[in-house]
Chains A and B, each alone.
Chain A
Amino acid sequence: MVEGEIAGGLAVRARGVRHSYVRGREDLRGVDLDVAPGELVAVIGENGSGKTTLARHLNALLALQAGSLTVAGLDTADPARVWELRRACGMVFQNPENQLVSSVVGEDVAFGPRNFGADEGQARAAARRALGEVGLAGFERRDAHTLSGGQQQRVALAAVLACEPDVVVLDEATSMIDPRGRDELTRAVEAFRCERGATVIWITHDMELAARADRVVVMCAGEVAASGAPADVLVDEALLSRAGLEAPLAVRTWRALEDAGVVAPSAPGACPVTTEGLVRALCG
């Protein structure tokens, strides 16, 4: 990131963001973070490291206590622009059932645009387009509560997309759904990124998913402990261990092969972080 770049050019610009839920304990201890427009950033860290607290600041679900935070060019501390901010930065949470506002899929997805002032025709068109993008075209009249967890998460994502966001935050959105649902949601995220070029901040415990991001941000005890390409961050086992995390399978396998002398110790950045990378490294 270029220091001094105007905040409007960044999707997210955080400086010294602090947060305390209770007196005497700091849950965020001065977070600095820049995210470029269109970037897919995976945020990893153990439970209690501040990931969700940071996410909740991104669209002002929590009030800023210290520091400065700009998302999609909007100051999150400006009460006059909070609705604009929440349209520009949408969130998908962990539990699919907790975020449905209507039992009819089309109504649920049109709820956002309607509340942001779209007329009935615009709201329905936005809902139709968003449902198509997440692979649920034609689901408008379905009962949301009869859908699978993966489908419900995609409805939640469509409800966010219907508001035409600049930034989409997924907070452990795959941890309560089955592997099929996780793959469906991952594909839907890939599809709308291609289509809209939106910025994605994906909070996850899934290291295989983090390995596929443009950048990985490691949170530890309320601070950003590291930020960089997956090939640099996810191979640093000392760092990950300090943060209470475990390297992806490809990294652990490669390190065991290095230790056993089966492969030569790799140069920085050469250790594979994905299964495909491991296959390429071993089979050419």
Chain B
Amino acid sequence: MRLSLEGVSLAFDVPGGEKVRALDGVTLDLAGGVTGLMGQTGSGKTTLLEVMAGMVRPDEGALAVDGADALGGAGARRLSAAVGLVFQIPERQFFETTVEREVGFGLRARGVAEAEARARSAEALALMGLSLDELGGRSPLALSGGQQRRVAIASVLALRPELLLLDEPTAGLDPRSRSACVRAIRAATDAGATVVVASHDANVLAEAADRVVALECGRVTLDGPVRETLGDAALMRDRGLEPACAARAAAALRRAGLDVEGAPLTAGELAAAIARAREAGGAS
């Protein structure tokens, strides 16, 4: 699904009669792949996700789905049927008595038959590294924090959204749950979904994203492929953002005199770049 935003602006009223500009002329075209959304707290990430989901109407600008206006009429209906939004700390919204009912709620509400709802719930939980057989009968509130987050994300994945929006899905998660989340995001995009992930965690985006968009005061200040953004420590720092840990280490090694080439995003890529630099250094 192709989602296009053009010149999207939005201001909120704050007490005292002032207006705060949350989004300021955002133009983006998203079609497939995973886009990582970065920016400081208050830069407009969550508001942008809400506009993309059709939950919040911008003051100015256009929102289109596959070329059709999505701010009203058939386009808006198409968007609302296609979107799956995982809010920040989504486990706060649990209300069902069992994990099975929680994950299958959206499917049943859409009239999906019981057997298929169960199969799709099991599939979504498996994507998050959890088992319906094992956890299905338990209260979602009795799970550990990491399991709760994964159940909450699975409840959106079960709907197989064409447009999957996630707001800080890995905040507070341990490495195992974080990896499950990255795998599920990649699986969703491999299945054809257009995915947007808002995150402060450069290392999660280095693994999950194809493209990175950064916001500052509601404006897009950076938009490019993951390696040309998160892999470029100097560029990221210039925009007040954190690079991937491996890119930061590569920059530190270069400053110390080891000529590490490229833009490594992971430990494996960094080690390979170091090995090449050492070989070149030894040969000269």
Interface residues of A (CB under 8 A from B): 22, 45-48, 94, 148-150, 172, 175-181, 205, 208, 244-246, 249-250, 252-253, 256-257, 260, 262, 275-276, 278-279, 282-283
**Whole-angstrom distance between the Cβ of A146 and the nearest chain B Cβ:** 8
User: In whole angstroms, what is the CA distance A48 to B144 when docked?
Assistant: 5
Q: Are A260 and B258 in contact (CB under 8 A)?
A: no
12 more A-B contacts (CB under 8 A) besides A45-B174, A47-B144, A279-B249? Answer: A22-B142, A47-B146, A47-B147, A48-B146, A178-B200, A244-B174, A246-B175, A249-B245, A249-B267, A256-B268, A262-B275, A282-B274
The listed residue (A94, A150, A208) touching B245 by CB distance below 8 A is A208
Residues of chain B within 8 A (CB-CB) of A94 are 172
> Chain B: how many interface residues by the 8 Å CB criterion?
40
Q: Are A253 and B270 in contact (CB under 8 A)?
A: yes
Q: Is the CB–CB distance between A46 and B146 below 8 Å?
A: yes
**Closest residue to A48 on the B side, CB-wise?**
B144
Chain B residue contacts of A172, Cβ below 8 A: 172
Residue among A181, A252, A257, A279 making CB contact with B252, cutoff 8 Å? A279
Can you report 10 A-B residue pairs in the complex whose CB atoms are below 8 A from each other?
A47-B177, A48-B145, A176-B168, A177-B41, A179-B202, A205-B172, A249-B245, A278-B252, A279-B252, A282-B256
Whether A48 touches B257, Cβ cut-off 8 Å, given contacts A148-B41, A262-B271, is no
Give Cα distance in the complex from A275 to B253, angstroms: 9
Residues from chain B with Cβ under 8 Å of A148 in the complex = 40-42
Does the CB pair A180–B40 fall under 8 Å? yes
A222 nearest CB across to chain B (Å): 11
B217 surroundings in chain A (CB, below 8 A): none
Q: Is residue B248 contacting chain A, with contact meaning CB distance below 8 A?
A: yes
Contacts of B147 in A (CB 8 A): 47-48
A158 to chain B, nearest CB (A): 19
Give min CB distance, A176 to chain B, whole Å.
Answer: 6
Residue of B whose beta carbon sits closest to that of A206: B201
Task: Give the residues from 74 to 97 in chain B that come closer than 8 angstroms, CB to CB, to chain A.
Answer: none
Report yes or no: B41 in contact with A150, Cβ–Cβ below 8 A: yes
Q: How many A-B residue pairs have CB under 8 A?
A: 105
Query: What is the interface of chain B, defined by CB distance below 8 A to chain A?
Result: 39-42, 142-147, 168, 171-177, 200, 202, 240-242, 245-246, 248-249, 252-253, 256-258, 267-268, 270-272, 274-275, 278
The 8 A-B residue pairs whose C-beta atoms are closest, nearest first, are A48-B144, A47-B146, A256-B271, A252-B267, A283-B256, A46-B174, A246-B175, A175-B172
How far apart sit A242 and B172, CA to CA, in the bound complex (Å)? 19
Assess whether B271 is in contact with A260, with CB atoms less than 8 Å apart: yes
CB distance A205 to B175 under 8 Å?
yes
Nearest Cβ on chain B to A124's Cβ, whole angstroms: 26
**B103 shortest CB reach to chain A, Å:** 18
For A262, what are the chain B residues with a Cβ–Cβ distance below 8 Å?
271, 274-275, 278
Say yes or no: A178 contacts B146, CB within 8 Å: no
Whole-angstrom CA separation of A276 from B256 in the bound complex: 10
Is A283 within 8 A of B267, CB to CB?
A: no
- Are B41's CB and A257's CB within 8 A? no
A210 CB to closest chain B CB (Å) equals: 12
A6 to B174 alpha-carbon distance, docked (Å): 36
Chain B's closest residue to A262 (CB) is B275
Given contacts A46-B175, A149-B41, A262-B278, contact A278 B271 (CB under 8 A): no
Decide if A257 touches B144 in the complex (CB within 8 Å): no
Tell me whether A249 and B249 are in contact (CB under 8 A). yes
Measured between beta carbons, the chain A residues less than 8 angstroms from B248 are: 275
Question: How far apart are the CA atoms of A150 and B241 in the complex, in Å?
Answer: 15
Nearest residue, chain A, Cβ from B172: A175
Chain A residue numbers with a CB within 8 Å of B41 are 148-150, 177-178, 181
Is there an interface contact between A249 and B200, defined as CB atoms closer than 8 Å?
Answer: no
Quick one: closest A residue to B144, CB to CB? A48
Q: Closest CB-CB distance, A279 to chain B, in whole Å?
A: 5
Which of chain B's residues has its CB closest to A146's CB?
B14
Q: Give the docked Cα–Cα distance between A173 and B271 (Å).
A: 31
Docked complex Cα distance between A180 and B43 (Å) = 13
Name B39's closest neighbour in chain A (CB-CB): A178
Contact A275 B245 (CB under 8 A): yes
> In this complex, which of B168, B177, B274 has the most chain A Cβ atoms within 10 angstroms of its Cβ?
B274
Given contacts A47-B146, A256-B268, A275-B249, contact A176 B176 (CB under 8 A): no
Most chain A CB inside 10 Å of its own CB: which residue of B41, B145, B246, B256: B41
Q: How far is the CB of B243 from chain A (nearest CB, A)?
A: 10
Rounded to whole angstroms, the CA-CA distance of A283 and B251 in the bound complex is 13
Most buried by A among B142, B176, B240: B176
Q: List, in ascending order, chain A residues with CB within 8 A of B145's CB.
A: 47-48
| A282-B258 in contact (CB<8A) | yes
